[in-house]
Amino acid sequence: MSGGGNTNKLNQLNVKKLTEPIRDRLRENYNKSANSYLEFFCLKHDYEYDPFPWVSNRIGGAAEVADLYVDMETIRVDVDSMCDEGEFIRWYDYCLRLGIVGDDRTPNFDSWLRKCPVRSEEEIAEMEKTRAGIVELENYLKVLIKKK
């Protein structure tokens, strides 16, 4: 019975030796696919393609493209759906505007394309107006604090 532990360790080593080439091939194929999706995304949107845009060199994570940060899932959805070219920017701007006013309840790109409920232009404009008022009051408060 005492030899069972050694046999288990040996099996684990054998499995690791056998699976390393498979994992390496999977990683290589994933990296190629991610870069191919990115290249097509850039072509579709007329962005300059940079083969090394991945944030922190994590291929398939988030990429910086034309001063925008785009995650792999958004790139994949955009390419696979072949949606209208302007739809991506409309979604990105919508999310950016909501983020600036502090609303982090933004839809992912796939939900956006499926016409999920979104805030109206009037709601966003009101939120932006309120946010501008808050910033103005914060600045005024800073001035008052400096005077004391």
- Residues 51-87 pLDDT 10s: 889 999 999 999 999 999 999 999 999 999 999 989 9
End-to-end CA distance of the chain: 80
Q: Are residues 96 and 30 in the same domain?
A: no
Closest CA to 10 of 131, 18, 87: 18
Q: Which domain holds residue 37?
A: 1-82
Strand partners, 63: 54, 70
What average pLDDT does this structure show over 123-143? 84
The per-residue pLDDT for 34 is 96
The per-residue pLDDT for 131 is 83
Q: Are residues 78 and 108 in the same domain?
A: no
Q: Are residues 94 and 76 in the same domain?
A: no
55 DSSP 8-state letter: G
Q: pTM of the entire structure?
A: 0.76
- Residue 58's identity, in one-letter code, is R
Q: Are residues 38 and 53 in the same domain?
A: yes
Structurally, how many domains does the chain consist of?
2
Q: Rounded to the nearest 10 degrees, how much is the dihedral formed by the CA atoms of 120, 123, 127, 132?
A: 90
Reading the block at residue 46, the tokens are: 């007329």
Q: Are residues 52 and 106 in the same domain?
A: no
- 118, with CB counted inside 10 A (0-12, 13-18, 19+), is middle
Q: Are residues 24 and 77 in the same domain?
A: yes
Give the number of other Cβ atoms within 10 Å of residue 50's Cβ: 14
Q: At what angle do helices 85-100 and 4-45 cross, to 10 degrees?
A: 110
